[in-house]
């Protein structure tokens, strides 16, 4: 009870006052510590439990295994796995699901599949764990196949099954499969479940169908914080900053206690709309009323807001005054804004700060070298190239993915010709032609061309 209302210290005191605690009591207190991400305390409880002669059960080991997965403590997880095999706990579906989840997180998917195939009976928990493991590894076809086979074997999907499948199908842009699962959700009567509704809202936002997401969001009577945050971030992903701020204000009016994710979403919306004053007011509100102190990700949003407004010097001051450690990623955002806005002097200043701090990103070295080259400062330019080589600075590598006939292609910019050949660049030519035909788009085209031309 105390765990559910957030008073963990009271729950721990009740447990310590028990004269004869049993296995159920130990399991309860370990579960409470697990929910509060106190992994070291869970391990301590488990060791104390065994040293005092208590015989652990399936719930005990599944709790500790889940903590190992959350904390990515694979050495302790392997010890727990050995204990499960020794005590024949793998016949328990709850333990089996925890083992499968741990193996998938530790990049041992083949071992997880072997454990799953060794089960004597099908159950929803192990199926959920393996479906999530397949999808996390990018094997969406295998995840969907297992989802279908589990239902044919009589396993009724739970809200967690739907949440897992919907989450990963949206990540890979599988619209057809996602809408089919939505139909199944309605058929089985899960449309009123807040967990499933949150997953559906997230899926439709990631697919760009915000109208469908809003419809599902409005239909939920008892919205929790996770659903509000999902809708807020989903609108931001689709460039709807004003609507996101409306959702944020409605959330506060409904009396929902915001968290750090909410603060990130609200500040990102201000960044998208260039609302400097409102962004600073939100920071003050969260500090004074909700006692939530901004962290790196929040100040990065503040930097974005200032850069959007052209207040580049103020952005540099925020980074230097508010962040205790050097953040190359945040300085990079300012540097990119300097380049886009054509502020060469500020770009040189920011690049010098990054080079002095021995940044591992290539952008500041390239900017500084080109600046020196334009001024015929050849020795300084050569020195920057040497520094870049010594620091082994590399350009951040990103990739794209494309789903064609249920097959997902992942490629970098250098590999694009292997997948689309010249057709991809033909489409880009059409887009440029269309933008040139619209006078209002020429300013955006100039910025885009600058980014394409930049090394």
- Reading the block at residue 203, the tokens are 């899926």
* Residue bearing tokens 């580049």: 312
> Does 432 fall in a domain?
yes
CA distance 84 to 81: 5
> Does 428 fall in a domain?
yes
Q: What is the pLDDT of residue 450?
A: 43
Q: What is the mean pLDDT of residues 331-358?
A: 83
- Reading the block at residue 83, the tokens are 């204990």
SS3 326: coil
Q: What is the mean pLDDT of residues 372-397?
A: 76
Q: What is the mean pLDDT of residues 22-44?
A: 89
Helix (H) or strand (E) holding 315: helix 312-322
113-137 pLDDT, tens digit each: 999 998 888 888 899 889 888 878 8
Q: What is the pLDDT of residue 452?
A: 43
What global pTM score does this model have? 0.69
Task: Yes or no: say if 157 and 124 are a contact pair by the CB < 8 Å rule.
Answer: yes
In sequence order, what DSSP letters do the residues of 125-193 get, joined into one string?
A: HHHHHHHHHHHHTT-HHHHHHHHHHHHHTT----HHHHHHHHHHHHHTT-HHHHHHHHHHHHHTT-TT-
Residues for the chain: how many in total? 455
302-317 pLDDT, tens digit each: 888 888 888 888 888 8
Helix (H) or strand (E) holding 404: strand 400-404
> Does 423 fall in a domain?
yes
In this model, does residue 107 exceed pLDDT 60?
Answer: yes
> Does 22 fall in a domain?
no
152-209 pLDDT, tens digit each: 888 888 888 888 778 766 655 567 777 888 888 888 888 888 999 999 999 899 888 8
Q: What is the pLDDT of residue 230?
A: 94
Task: Yes or no: say if 169 and 140 are a contact pair by the CB < 8 Å rule.
Answer: yes
Domain residue limits at 425? 400-453
Q: Which residues contact 332 (CB under 8 A, 6 or more apart)?
A: 354, 361, 363, 364
Question: What's the domain count of the chain?
Answer: 1
288: left (phi over 0), alpha (psi -120 to 50) or beta: alpha
> Does 293 fall in a domain?
no
> Does 273 fall in a domain?
no
Q: What is the pLDDT of residue 382?
A: 84
- Reading the block at residue 196, the tokens are 């499933």
In this model, does residue 355 exceed pLDDT 70?
Answer: yes
Q: What is the pLDDT of residue 122?
A: 86
Residue 402 binned pLDDT confidence (cut-offs 50, 70, 90): low
Q: What is the pLDDT of residue 406?
A: 59
């Amino acid at each position: 009870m105390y765990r559910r209302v957030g008073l963990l210290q009271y729950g721990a005191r009740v447990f310590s006052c028990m004269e004869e605690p049993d296995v159920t009591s130990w399991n309860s207190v370990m579960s409470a510590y697990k929910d509060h991400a106190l992994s070291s305390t869970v391990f301590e409880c488990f060791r104390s439990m065994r040293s005092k002669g208590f015989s652990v059960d399936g719930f005990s080991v599944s709790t500790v295994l889940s903590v190992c997965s959350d904390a990515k403590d694979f050495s302790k997880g392997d010890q727990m796995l050995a204990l499960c095999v020794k005590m024949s706990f793998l016949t328990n579906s709850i333990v089996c699901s925890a083992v499968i989840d741990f193996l998938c997180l530790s990049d041992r998917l083949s071992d997880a599949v072997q454990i799953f195939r060794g089960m004597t009976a099908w159950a929803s928990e192990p199926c959920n764990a393996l479906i999530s493991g397949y999808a996390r590894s990018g094997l969406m076809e295998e995840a969907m196949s297992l989802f279908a086979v589990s239902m044919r074997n009589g396993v009724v999907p739970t809200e967690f099954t739907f949440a897992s499948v919907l989450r990963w199908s949206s990540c890979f842009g599988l619209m057809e499969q996602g809408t089919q699962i939505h139909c199944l959700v309605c058929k089985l009567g899960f449309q009123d479940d807040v967990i499933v509704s949150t997953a559906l809202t997230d899926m439709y936002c990631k697919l760009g169908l915000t109208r469908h997401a809003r419809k599902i969001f409005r239909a939920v009577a008892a919205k929790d914080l996770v659903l509000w945050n999902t809708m807020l971030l989903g609108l931001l992903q689709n460039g709807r900053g004003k609507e996101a701020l409306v959702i944020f204000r409605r959330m506060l009016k409904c009396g929902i206690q915001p968290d750090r994710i909410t603060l990130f979403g609200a500040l990102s919306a201000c960044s998208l709309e260039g609302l400097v004053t409102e962004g600073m007011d939100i920071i003050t509100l969260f500090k004074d009323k909700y006692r939530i102190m901004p962290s790196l990700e929040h100040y990065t949003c503040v930097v974005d807001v200032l850069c959007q407004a052209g207040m580049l010097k103020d952005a540099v001051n925020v980074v230097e005054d508010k962040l205790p450690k050097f953040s190359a990623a945040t300085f990079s955002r300012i540097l990119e804004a300097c380049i886009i806005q054509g502020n060469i002097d500020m770009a040189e200043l920011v690049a010098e700060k990054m080079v002095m701090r021995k940044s591992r990103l290539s952008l500041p070295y390239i900017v500084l070298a080109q600046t020196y080259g334009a001024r015929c400062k050849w020795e300084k330019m050569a020195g920057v190239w040497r520094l870049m080589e010594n620091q082994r600075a590399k350009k951040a590598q990103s990739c794209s993915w494309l789903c064609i006939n249920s097959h997902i292609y992942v490629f970098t910019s250098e590999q694009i010709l292997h997948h689309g050949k010249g057709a991809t660049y033909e489409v880009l030519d059409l887009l440029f032609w269309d933008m040139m035909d619209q006078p209002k788009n020429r300013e955006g085209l100039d910025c885009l061309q600058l980014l394409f031309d930049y090394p």
